[in-house]
Structure 1
């Protein structure tokens, strides 16, 4: 199967993976043939793309980092936590037990994934941005933590901290959170207060660890001291805060927002790398790049020799040079063949120059 952006979907394409609705219900099953009405519904749900099967990709198998059920349950728990606090209807600790169990399941899924990163595209769905973002950041942070050789107990604390990093947004007016255009100066100052508001709310009412509280407070601090709320720099920023900062920016950049379309993973990684050692901790960034590939399996890419191919597999430590199935040359369909940009000597001069929507 291969990943096709929503704007490139056409009637007659065949679903390569199940498509799940907003509340976890099955929308389209594996093998379903897309119709105009299905494509419209996929757009309405906020999917940035789906997997399809065609003659080029039937044997390409893609595994999710976490299952549809685990993702839906995690989002449900975060949503209930946020909405319950906003409505003053629940005690935050009531949901923490559920979140702890879900983070443990996420840990098991991530640790069992021995590859570079089986599939990031499975994280980019649905329109409840804040809640899906929290889960995505949790998964990404844990991936980075595994590259930093953290033990399971520390990874669990990191996952909980990352999933709760935006809890302060429950105190920000929805018209600011969801504003489609640029925020005014006053609105931006209000938005910037969410990390401190989340820290204050939890620290005043509950016995969360300093590690989690510092992560929530620090996730918008930057390595050169240019972040907020306290202008911390370097090692003044908590370790979890430095990890969540990168995960937060990556997921935000690769998500569709009301004021801009999503970047591709490769574009987002390039943006983050431009902030190496100024915005982001270099050691954490290196761990991020070890686990996060710019070109997930199933991504269609353009090559420097004017060929088009589908990414088959990533190599750990060489994420810019994956295995690729070439399906077009000079814009014309060909009999597909596979190349390995890392190990095939005759491909040493070929590079990926970007993704391609087909």
Structure 2
């Protein structure tokens, strides 16, 4: 049985099924393994991991009835997550509903492509030790902000379509777009939105001076390498201070976007109200884009699956900020794979601002006949549509490689 346990219940002989957190939070390359080594045991307990999943059918179980009370089954966690996401969906929607057609997606993709050389140039200057002028990004941030406010769904949908070799640069653009959209949902306006966007653009500047063999390593990081990677917020903060043009919000998000509300983050282990609203926003946007993106060493999670996993990571994010983020990207983000009550599989093509639980989809596969069908566009929120969402599905379980194309998303 798959169970979630606090790390203080972990012991040698248990089969680790998954860590509660993104792969950026721990140095382990594999998430499934038998815990046999004292060294690995200590790395887990000292590495900031608070909870993890074990598979009691492959290794030792938790001890005794009292311990079992603290161990939670995957089914119970899934039910709790769905309740939380449905609550988030009930929040008022701050963004105006925009046209989400192919033209909007094409414009968003073009903006991303134009952004790559600008961000690459800035990171190149940082790697050479040149002072970074935060003001050089303001025009690009303004353009991204305008695009988000015109068509929030388009730019956010395109945000995860990155080539693996351009991840570092495109991640900056994606987090910028997500910060603007989330800020609008939280009620930020004008200059505050611009500051949020600029902070998102520059939050990972410190990675420009990380050793490339560590940054792009296709395997498990050593403890020393993991410590090097965890220094990037402070390195970026130092470079922005030296540049002299970065405002307080940009500096704060750069330094604190890896802090967690339970105090288990880095570099300063801040907790609760010690972390600013902007840094809490940066934490959510950074993690979501990272775990949904294809990396040189890891494929990204499905958007819907990513949200559900993030909802399980208690203590990582400010609940109000995470709920607003869910409202921003949707319970079922564009590109998510859904099973409908009819037995059809469908990919999400657009959000329904009035009801995030009933998106627009394109059905393309019948689970009853186990074969592809002629693609059928459906608005699950329409009074004329009798079909509803039954569950989320993992594309990997079905070996579907063309969901982005079916969703109408352009190539990166």
2:187 maps to 1:146: no
* 1:351 pairs with one of 365, 390, 394: 390
Give the conservation status (yes or no) of the 8 Å contact 1:321–1:340: yes
Q: Does 1:91 align with 2:131?
A: yes
Q: Map 1:90-239 to 2 at 5 A.
A: 90-93=130-133, 96-113=134-151, 120-121=157-158, 123-126=160-163, 127-239=165-277
- TM-score, structure 1 as length reference: 0.74
TM-score by length of structure 2 reads 0.65
- Structure 2 Cα separation of the partners of residues 332 and 224 of structure 1: 46
Query: Is residue 65–residue 122 contact of structure 1 (8 Å, CA) maintained in 2?
Result: no
SS of the aligned residue for 1:105 comes to helix
* Mapping of residues 19-34 of structure 1, within 5 Å: none
Residues 290, 117 of structure 1: CA spacing in aligned structure 2 closer, same or farther, 3 A cutoff? farther
Contact 2:358-2:388 at 8 Å conserved across structures: no
As a proportion of its length, which structure holds more helix? 2
Distance 1:266-1:62 versus aligned 2 partners, 3 A rule: farther
What's the offset of the Cα at 1:349? 6.0
Tell me if structure 1 keeps the 8 A contact 2:303–2:336: no
Structure 2 vs 1, CA of residues 199 and 63 (structure 1 numbering), >3 Å: closer, same or farther? Answer: same
> In 1, distance between residues paired with 2:156 and 2:205?
27
Tell me the distance in 2 between the aligned counterparts of 1:191 and 1:201.
16
Aligned to 2:97: none
Matches of 1:152 and 1:296, distance apart in 2: 26
C-alpha contact 1:192 1:228 (8 A) present in aligned 2: yes
TM-aligned CA distance change 1:248 to 1:118, over 3 Å: closer
Unaligned residue ranges in structure 1 (runs of 5+): 1-59
Q: 1:268-347 maps to which residues of 2 (within 5 A)?
A: 268-276=306-314, 278-297=315-334, 301-316=338-353, 318-329=355-366, 330=368, 331-334=370-373, 338-344=377-383, 347=386
SS at match of 1:224: coil
In structure 2, runs of 5+ residues without a counterpart are 1-100, 403-412
Matched, 1:67 2:108: yes
1:178-204 deviation line (CA, Å, top 9, x unaligned): 111111111111110110111122224
Counterpart secondary structure, 2:338 = strand
In structure 2, the residue corresponding to 1:301 is in which secondary structure? Answer: strand
TM-fit CA distance, 1:149: 1.8
Q: 1:306 to 1:208 in 2, by over 3 A?
A: same
Root mean square deviation, CA, Å = 2.7
**2:132, 2:242 within 8 Å by CA — same for their partners in 1?**
no
Range 160-169 or range 342-351, more displaced: 342-351
